[in-house]
Amino acid sequence: MSAMQRIIALLPLVLVLACAENVLSQSSGSPTEVWPEFTVNYDPIEKIRLMLAVRKERNEDTPDKTVETTATIIYRIRPLVRNMLFNDDENDNEKKYALSLAANWEYSRSFGNTLRNENRIMLDATPRYKIRGGILIENRLRLEIRFRGDGSRDYWFRDRVRFEKRFQIKKFRFSPFAYVEPIWGWQANSWNRNLLSAGTEIALVRKRARLDFYYLRKNCDTCDFADVNAIGMNLHLFFGKR
């Protein structure tokens, strides 16, 4: 099977996951959801990435389902001392650099008793470190400005710390990961939310396609609805300079 055939064969899995949530809810009665995502990455040069992602998940402020579209531009900075900790054998250009700066625009549309729209501007800085054992540590710092459909505005600050280690068994490459992400909200004036996640990245076509599977727990201390458990899948396609 060719590389393109493998990618096309996996696309229906996104649709399957999009419909599987009802089955999980009916069978277990627990607030477990399925969040499919599709991401296209284009690197016109090695230091710059343009990214477009579409995902289904839950609204941050209500228990309603939401569809989010995110457009991102990323600029990367190499380590001052080039060494084997950031090497050219990485499947993703992003992981070859010690620092990434990003600007994001995101549109969120929720579907529940009422339609809710939200636009977000997000600014990121993500330093990376590799320690003994080949463990990659990322610390993404994100400032979000949220423009809600009712005219209100909120500011969030996220601090995500992520650990990852790459493995290879013959031609099979995968990278288990885990992260924690506390979130501070301006309106709440507290660290009232946090995310906990663990999963793995699976290389489908080296440097061209990747599938991420993960479990995510979304906690909110000030929300009047239950916290959520999610099973997610994100299919990445990579184009341009590799």
Domain count, the chain: 1
Domain extent at residue 228: 3-240
For residue 8, is pLDDT > 60? no
Amino acid at 140: R
- Top-confidence residue, 207 or 140: 140
The answer to whether the CB of 156 falls within 8 A of the CB of 182 is: no
pTM, 2 dp = 0.84
Residue of 200, 164, 157 whose CA lies nearest to 181: 157
The pLDDT tens digits of the residues spanning 213-230 come to: 999 999 999 888 888 999
**CATH number of the domain enclosing 88:** 2.40.128
The pLDDT tens digits of the residues spanning 81-139 come to: 555 456 656 678 888 888 999 999 999 999 877 678 999 999 999 999 888 888 999 99
For residue 67, is pLDDT > 70? yes
